[in-house]
Amino acid sequence: MPDIVLATINARYVHASLGLRYLMANLGELRPRAKILEFVSGARTEDLVERILSEAPAILGLGVYIWNVDESTRLVAQLRRVAPELRIVVGGPEVSHETAQQRICALADHVITGPGDLSFAGLCRQLLNGPRPLTKVIAGTQPELSVLELPYDLYSDEDVRQRFLYVEASRGCPFKCEFCLSALDKTAWPFELDRLLEQLASLYLRGARRFKFVDRTFNLKTASGLAILGFFLDRLSAAPDDPVFAHFELVPDHLPKALRDAIRQFPPGTLQFEIGIQTWNPQVQALISRKQDNERAAQNIAWLVSETQAHLHVDLIAGLPGEDLESFGAGFDRLVSLRPHEIQVGILKRLRGAPIARHTDAFGLRFNPDPPYNVLATETISFARMQRVARFARYWDLFANSGRFRRTLPLLLGERPFERFMAFSDWIFGRTDSTNQLSLERQFELARGWLLEAPGEAPDRIESSLLDDYVACGARGRPAFLARGLSGAPERPRASPRRQARHLA
C-alpha cells in the first residue's frame, strides 16, 4: 500500500494531469511509496472516497482547480468524517490565493500555495518522519527548472494510447494581462531544450502522437520555437502515414519569418494554435495591462488562415472592465472577418489572485460568488444582456465551432455577424428555453426555422445548404424537414452513396 496518494478530478478522461506527475517525479526517495489516482468530474463522491481509502494512504495530496473545487471540497469533507487520521494536503491554483475564505482549505491539514514541485516532497518527509510542520499554509517556491525531475516517463501506456499528453517548454509569462494568474509571474523560464526534446523523443517512441504544450508564450523565443517545431516536422517527414499532432498557445503579434517558414510546412490535421485576442479595444487593453499590436495580430491571423494548414482557435472575452456590448460585438465581427476555424467566446472570470479584481468597484463588476466566478454584470453590460452573451457563446459552439454548419453558417451570420447571430440565439432560446440537450436533428430544424423567418435568403438556398451540411457531418438521424421533403432542393452526387442512403431513406 502506498504511503502517499496523489489525486485530482480531471474535467475529462482525455486530460492527464501534468501537475500530479511533476509532484510524483520529484518525491525523491518517497517516489516508490506514492501512487497517482485520477478521477473524472461527475463521479459519485462516495466512490472517490472509497477508491482513495482502499489504498490506505497516510497522506493525500489533492490538486484543486477552478473546474473541480466544488467536487474536491465534498471529497475532502467526506474523507474528514470517515478517515480523520488521513493527512490531507491541497494545492493548485484555486487554493493558492484567498485561502482563509475557502472551506476546502479549512478542512485540509495543509495548503501549499504556488509551485509545489519540491515543497510537497518536503512536507511529506516531515509528515512521515518528523518533525511535524508548525504551519498549515506553506508557500511553495519556484525552483530552478534545471533541478526538477521531468515527469514524462510517468505517462502510462494507456495515457499514450488514449489521452492528450501535456508538456511544457517553459513556465511563467512576461505579460501582465490582469484577467490571468500568469500576470503574477515576473518572467518566463525555459526548460533546457535538449533535455526536453529527449523526453519528447522518448514519448514518441512509445507511441505518443498527441502533444499539448501548456506554455503561455510558446513563440516568444524564436530559436526554441523553431527547434520544437523542427522536432515534429522531422517525425512527419519520416512517417507521413503516422502523423503526430501538436497544440501550442501563440502570442498573436509575434510571428517572424523563420517561424512562418516552419509553420507553413505542417500538413492538415497536425498543428493547432490557440490564440488569445481577448479584446480588440485599445482602451480596454490598456486598462487591463494587455500589450498587443492589433494590426499585426490581425495580419498574422489572416496569414495563418490563408497560407498554412494550421487549425486556429482564437479567444475573445466578454465582460472586461470598460468594454460594452457594442465594442465586444465590433471585435467579434472583426475576428469573424479573419476566418479562424474556431472562435471561443468566453465570459470574464475572477480567478482567485488575478489582478482583475482591482477593477470591481470602479467598473461595477459583479462576479458569481461560486465557481467558475463568471462576471454576471458590469457597469456597461446588464445582467440580462450578459445572460444573452452566455447563451450566444453556447450556441456559437453548437452552430459554428462544431464545424457541422459550414455551408449554412454564412447565411446565419450575414453582413453583421454579431448582431445577426445574437438574434438567432435569442430566437432559439425563446423556443427551446434551453442551451443544452439540443440534438443534432433539432439544431438543423432550428437553423432552418429561423432562416426561413429571417429576411435575406431564398428558401431553396437555405434548404440546399442545410442538406449539404447534414449529409457532410455524417449524422444518422432524420430531421423533420427531410421527412417533409425539401422545396426545390436539387439532387446532388454524394461521396459515399451507401451511407447517404441510410440518412435519406
pLDDT digits (tens, 9 = 90+) for 352-375: 999 999 999 999 999 999 999 999
Read off the pLDDT band of 484 (50, 70, 90).
Answer: low
Q: What kind and span of H or E run contains 450? A: helix 440-453
Task: Find the length of the chain.
Answer: 505
Q: Are residues 102 and 166 in the same domain?
A: no
Contact 333, 307 (CB under 8 A): no
CA pair distance 504, 499, nearest whole angstrom: 9
Does the structure show a pLDDT above 80 at 477?
Answer: no
Written as nine digits, the cell of 91 is 494545492
Report in angstroms the alpha-carbon separations of 263 from 219, 256, 268, 293, 376: 11, 11, 11, 21, 39
* pLDDT tens-digit map of 389-403: 999 999 999 999 999
Q: How far is CA 356 from the centre of its chain?
A: 20
Using pLDDT thresholds of 50, 70 and 90, give the confidence band for residue 432.
very high
- Kindly report the backbone phi and psi dihedral angles of residue 464, in degrees, each rounded to the nearest multiple of 5, phi listed first: -65, -40
Cα torsion 69, 70, 73, 79: sign: negative
Pairing of strands 366-367, 375-377: antiparallel
Secondary structure (3-state) at 421: helix
Residue 35, CA distances (Å) to 27, 52, 59, 363 in order: 11, 10, 11, 47
Q: What is the CATH number of the domain that holds 87?
A: 3.40.50.280
Q: Which amino acid is at 49?
A: V
In terms of domains, do 325 and 209 share one? yes
Cα separation, 98 vs 351, whole angstroms = 11
Number of domains present in the structure of the chain:
3
CATH code of the domain containing 222 = 3.80.30.20
The cell for 174 is 512576461
User: Residue 155 is placed in which grid cell?
Assistant: 505517462
What pLDDT, in 10s, does the model give residues 445-465?
Answer: 999 999 999 988 899 999 999
The pLDDT of residue 406: 96
Residue 271 lies in a domain: yes
Which among 381, 347, 350, 348 is positioned nearest to 364, based on CA atoms?
381
Same-domain status, 164 and 244: yes
Cα dihedral 26, 29, 33, 37 in deg (nearest 10): 10
User: Where does a domain end: 121, 145, 169?
Assistant: 145
How is residue 397 annotated by DSSP?
A: I
Residue 137 in domain: yes
Q: Report how far apart, in Å, the C-alpha atoms of 239 and of each of 165, 196, 243, 350, 398 are.
A: 20, 21, 7, 45, 35
- Residue 485 pLDDT class (50, 70, 90 cuts): low
**What is the rounded CA–CA span in Å between residue 221 and residue 279?**
24
Q: For residue 492, what pLDDT band results from cuts at 50, 70 and 90?
A: very low
The kind and range of the H/E element at 446 are helix 440-453
Given this model, what pLDDT does residue 483 score? 67
- Considering the domain architecture, whether residues 354 and 501 belong to the same structural domain is answered as no
Q: Which of 145, 173, 190 is the last residue of a domain?
A: 145
State the average pLDDT over residues 267-285.
97
My answer on whether 49 and 89 are in the same domain is: yes
Rounded mean pLDDT, 245-251: 96
- Residue 448 has a CB neighbour count (10 Å cut-off) of 21
Q: Is residue 300 predicted with pLDDT exceeding 60? A: yes
In a domain, 388, yes or no: no
Same structural domain for residues 371 and 496?
A: no
pLDDT at 482 over 80: no
Q: What is the pLDDT of residue 481?
A: 72
pLDDT, tens digit, 9 for 90 and up, residues 130-152: 999 989 999 998 899 999 999 99
Comparison of pLDDT for 486 and 113, the residue scoring more: 113
Q: How far apart are CA 279 and CA 291, in angstroms?
A: 11
Identify whether residues 293 and 366 lie together within a single domain: yes
- Given pLDDT bands bounded at 50, 70 and 90, which one contains residue 494? very low
pLDDT band at 11 (very low <50, low <70, confident <90, very high): very high
Distance CA 331, CA 375 (A): 19
pLDDT tops 80 at residue 350 = yes
User: Among 162-171, 183-192, 341-350, which stretch is predicted with the lowest mean pLDDT?
Assistant: 183-192
pLDDT (0 to 100) of residue 378: 98
Task: Single out the residue in 319, 354, 381 at which a domain terminates.
Answer: 381
CA dist 303 and 267 (Å) reads 16
Given a cut of 80, whether residue 480 has pLDDT beyond it is no
Percent of the chain past pLDDT 90, that is, above it, reads: 88
* pLDDT at residue 196, rounded to an integer: 97
pLDDT of the residue at 34: 98
Q: Is residue 391 part of a domain?
A: no
The Cα–Cα gap between 498 and 83 comes to: 59
- Whether 85 maps to a domain, the answer reads yes
Q: Mean pLDDT score of the chain, rounded to an integer?
A: 93
Q: 87-121, pLDDT tens digit by residue?
A: 999 999 999 999 999 999 999 999 999 999 999 99
Residues 231, 128 share a domain: no
* 503 domain residue, yes or no: yes
Question: What residues are paired with 90 via a beta bridge?
Answer: 62, 111
Domain residues for the domain of 478 are 398-505
Name the β-bridge partners of 383: none
- Which of 20-24, 27-31, 160-164, 327-331 is least confident? 160-164
Q: How confident is the model at residue 473 (pLDDT cuts 50, 70, 90)?
A: confident
3-class secondary-structure state, position 366: strand
CA distance 312 to 271: 9
Residues 228 and 341 in one domain: yes
As a whole number, mean pLDDT of residues 334-352 equals 98
Q: Answer yes or no: is 13 within a domain.
A: yes
Report the alpha-carbon distance of residue 98 to residue 502 in Å, rounded.
57
- Model pLDDT, residue 496: 39
Residues 367 and 408 reside in one and the same domain? no
Q: How high is the pLDDT of residue 326?
A: 98
Q: What is the mean pLDDT of residues 228-249?
A: 97
pLDDT value of residue 198: 98
386 assigned to some structural domain: no
One domain, residues 173 and 137: no
Residue 491 pLDDT: 42
The separation between CA 246 and the C-alpha centre of its own chain, rounded to angstroms, equals 15
Q: Do residues 124 and 59 touch, judged by C-beta distance below 8 A?
A: yes
* Residues 196, 135 within the same domain: no
The pLDDT value recorded for residue 210 is 96
